[in-house]
Amino acid sequence: MLSIGRLPALLASTLMLLACALPAQAADPATLRIALSLSQTGSNADVDRWVLDGERLALEEANADKSAPPVEMVLYDDLSTTDGSVAVARKVVAGNELIAIGPGLTTSAVATGPIYAEANLVSLLPIVHGDVVTEPRTTFRPLFSTSEMGAAMADYIRHVLGGKKAVVIFTDTGYGQPIAAGFKKAADKLGIETTAIGFRNADEAQKAVQQALAIPDKPAIALAVLFGEGKAIVAALKRGKVGGPIVGGTATASDDFAALFANEPEEKQKRGFFTDGMLAAAPLMMDSASADAVAFAERFRKRFGRDPIWRAVQAYDAMKLAIAAVRAAANAPDLKARREAVRAYVAGIDSPAKAIKGAAGPLWFTADRGRQQAVRFGTFHGGLLESAPLQLVPVAKPSPERIASGAVVELGSGQYARRQQIVYAGLYLNAIPRVDIAPSTFTADFYLWMRYGRGAGPGAAEPTEIEFPDLVRGTFDAKKTANETELPDGSLYRLWRIRGDFKNDYDLRRFPSDRQHLAVRFFNGRAASDALIYARDVRTLGPAGDAGMAAPAAYRELAQWEVEHAGQGRDILATASSLGDTRVAGVEGRRELSGFNLTVDIHRRVLATLSKSLLPLGLLILMLFVTLYIPLGNIGPRVAIVITGTLTASVLLSATNAQLGNVGYPINVERLFYVFFLLCLVCLVGVIVSERLRGLNKLPQAVKVEGWSRGVFIAVVVLAAAGAVYIELSDGGVA
């Protein structure tokens, strides 16, 4: 029988056992963990930093939902080598992670795929193209393959550039060979005469360039090369005065590629000497991306302080899928069952109807565990990569009439595409002379320009058929241009000057320390974004869209306002509906209209507003306070001052409301008036009570009431001031 005296020792032993068990609980294999095989060191580290940031953002957003099981990511450094990736894979399969993302190199993915497959652990490869990487049954590639990229390059050369002759220069490795093969297969169907030239080292690469330059009739040059290899080949082509267009793959699709030439003598004389006019393929171009990608870019920019590249978007989508998969497997009984549940979940996303919504578009897997994804093309100018003026976008179910007219072209294997126009747009603000709060409008005077190419095909949308939905006074006539011409590169240039009043929704809750967001927007209501996109003209505005966009005196007449930020860029009107179009379904069942906007963020100059509008209220408060020091026995003047102050404040409040218009919610300035009316009540009650006590010959009590009235008056003023400061600080700081 257990004695009472032994209970303390037993309890102590129990507590020690529980304490020892805590670390094991923290490492509970039931925890939802995702392994990340990334290059934190080595040659691929810079690339994988984008991948990590995209994955981190997806995880933070998912874990913000406290109703769902939390997910952890475990980061491994694969050292940018195949051996390092293999070592990571062995650690992961021996651990308790439910899914792996990475590695980021095709050679590494080929080596790690069988290891993950043996453990029945899914690996997602968001930035790897290799065709062979999906041979292991648990490897999924949420990105188009290298051969598909090669085919897309051939499609673009034929259907957009009009080329009938091409040379493919490819690195004779597992990366370049599938691109060249995919290009050749598609080119044969398209009637493109193709010469493929491979190389294994730098000397062979230079020989390949010379061989390509010797081919007559200025063929298009398709490059199936890696990042570093591309520099030497492009330099040799440009120095050899290549005649045809150069089209590169994803390895060349970034501003970083153009930066490789910064120290070359020709580049120092003219920025963009080597890359101007060169095209490059990518899963998406941020300046012409979908509404979901644009929204992702804004969140990414806010979180990390820089604009994302396509690799960050791909990584974000992969992490979203991984999180959904591990949460779906959370109730499985053990590690083996959970990994199988994850594999079944990912494999089950096998059609557009089952796709998950991704920033880079609907995400679902084909029978060979790849992804059907459009290939976008960018073009370099002045060291910057922007969307090419014409793109090919998939068409799900084209009508025979559209195919026959040439509006839709066949890409092969039963796939079709249409040409999408990219219109480079920009606005230059001459002036915002007036901000009218009461009618909820502001006046803007600005220039609008567009630059766009030809050749969009039959039935193409007219880029100048735009509407300003918020324009309430003034007109826009597309035919009345300030300037129109054809530029040396064959593109069309249009310029308009517009002045009008624009409707704007003002938020006045914090008046007189309010901040407002002014926006001038236009849309093309006759063309969905799959046919036409208005992209920021980075050539003249810069990547940020806020350089050189306003005249020096544009805001001079806004005496009560201070400009915080101005910018411009894409404005997408999206409807979460197919609007009756039975050709689209699932997450693709939506319609987007492309537009453009100029935005100006302003905040009110508080001191200027207070001195102009609310200074009389401050003087009235002082007058009220003075009444508390008028000697007893002067009830008439004291009451008269209080009543006069109340009436005057009522008039001021009415004038302020008239200035602000019909506002259906309480605003800060009204609270100031309510405080004043409370002070009037304090003074009035204090006067009446003190005079009543004086009339009853209770002078000491009357004097005390006077003192209490002053104290309450001061306390109300102090509390009101403290409350105002607190509201300002809790809502972004004092304006």
Binning pLDDT at 50, 70 and 90, where does residue 12 land? very low
Structural domains present in the chain = 32-144+294-354 (3.40.50.2300), 146-248 (3.40.50.2300), 419-579+588-604 (2.70.170.10), 607-730 (1.20.58.390)
Percentage above 90 pLDDT, the chain? 53
* pLDDT given at position 263: 94
| Lowest-confidence region among 20-24, 47-51, 429-433 | 20-24
Q: What is the mean pLDDT of residues 114-143?
A: 95
pLDDT at 648 over 80: yes
Transcribe 408-441 into DSSP letters: EEEEETTEEEEEEEEEEEEEEEEEEEEEETTTTE
Query: pLDDT higher for 480 or 606?
Result: 480
* Lowest mean pLDDT, pick from 80-84, 97-101, 302-306, 705-709: 705-709
What's the pLDDT at 397? 79
Residue listed under structure tokens 């007109």: 475
Length of the chain: 735
Q: Assign 612 a pLDDT band (cuts: 50, 70, 90).
A: low
What DSSP line would sit under 121-142, residue for residue? Answer: -EEE-TT---GGGG-STTEE--
Model confidence at 672: pLDDT above 70:
yes
Q: Please tell me the least confidently modeled range out of 191-195, 333-337, 347-351, 633-637.
A: 633-637
Q: Give the pLDDT confidence score for residue 58 in this predicted structure.
A: 96
156-160, 391-395, 582-586 — most confident range:
156-160
Q: What is the mean pLDDT of residues 643-651?
A: 85
pLDDT band at residue 687, thresholds of 50, 70 and 90? confident
* Predicted local distance difference test score (pLDDT) of residue 511: 78
Distance CA 596, CA 294 (A): 13
Burial of 657 (C-beta count, 10 Å sphere; 0-12/13-18/19+): middle
Report percent pLDDT > 70 for the chain. 89
Return the pLDDT at 543.
57
Q: What is the pLDDT of residue 717?
A: 87
Reply yes or no on whether the pLDDT at 64 is more than 90.
yes
pLDDT (tens digit, 9 = 90+) per residue, 378-425? Answer: 999 988 899 999 999 888 778 888 888 888 888 866 788 889 999 999
* Residue, of 573 and 229, whose pLDDT is higher: 229
Give me the pLDDT at residue 30, please. Answer: 59
C-alpha dihedral sign at 723, 728, 734, 735: negative
Mean pLDDT along residues 478-495: 92
pLDDT for 180 equals 95
Say if residue 635's pLDDT is above 90: no
Residues 279-305, mean pLDDT to the nearest whole number: 91
Report, as an integer, the average pLDDT of 487-495: 90
Q: If you average pLDDT over each of 197-201, 353-357, 579-583, which comes out highest?
A: 197-201
Average confidence score pLDDT of the chain: 86
Distance CA 657, CA 677 (A): 16
Query: What is the pLDDT averaged over residues 253-273?
Result: 92
pLDDT tens digits, one per residue of 715-732: 988 888 887 777 766 654
Mean of the pLDDT values across residues 201-218?
94
Q: Tell which wins on pLDDT, 140 or 673.
A: 140
- Residue 32 is encoded by which pair of tokens? 């939802």
pLDDT at position 587: 42
pLDDT of residue 631: 83
The rounded distance, in Å, linking the Cα atoms of 430 and 512 is 27
Select, from the ranges 44-48, 443-447, 562-566, 575-579, the one with the highest average predicted confidence (pLDDT).
Answer: 443-447
Query: Does residue 322 or residue 373 have the better pLDDT?
Result: 322
The C-alpha atoms of residue 226 and residue 107 are separated, in whole angstroms, by: 13
Close Cβ partners of 591 (under 8 Å, ≥ 6 residues apart): 528, 574, 575, 577, 578, 579, 581
Provide the sign of the torsion angle of the four alpha carbons 241, 243, 245, 250, taken in this order. Answer: negative
pLDDT of residue 580: 61
Is pTM beyond 0.85? Reply is: no
Confidence band of 632 (pLDDT split at 50, 70, 90): confident
pLDDT value of residue 674: 84
Query: What was the pLDDT predicted at 51?
Result: 94
487-490 long-range contacts, CB within 8 A, separation 24+: 487/451, 490/453, 490/454
What's the rounded Cα separation, in Å, for the pair 606 and 585? 52
On the question of pLDDT at 439 being above 50, the answer is: yes
Which of 274, 262, 456 has the alpha carbon at shortest distance from 380? 274
User: Would the pLDDT of 325 be above 90?
Assistant: yes
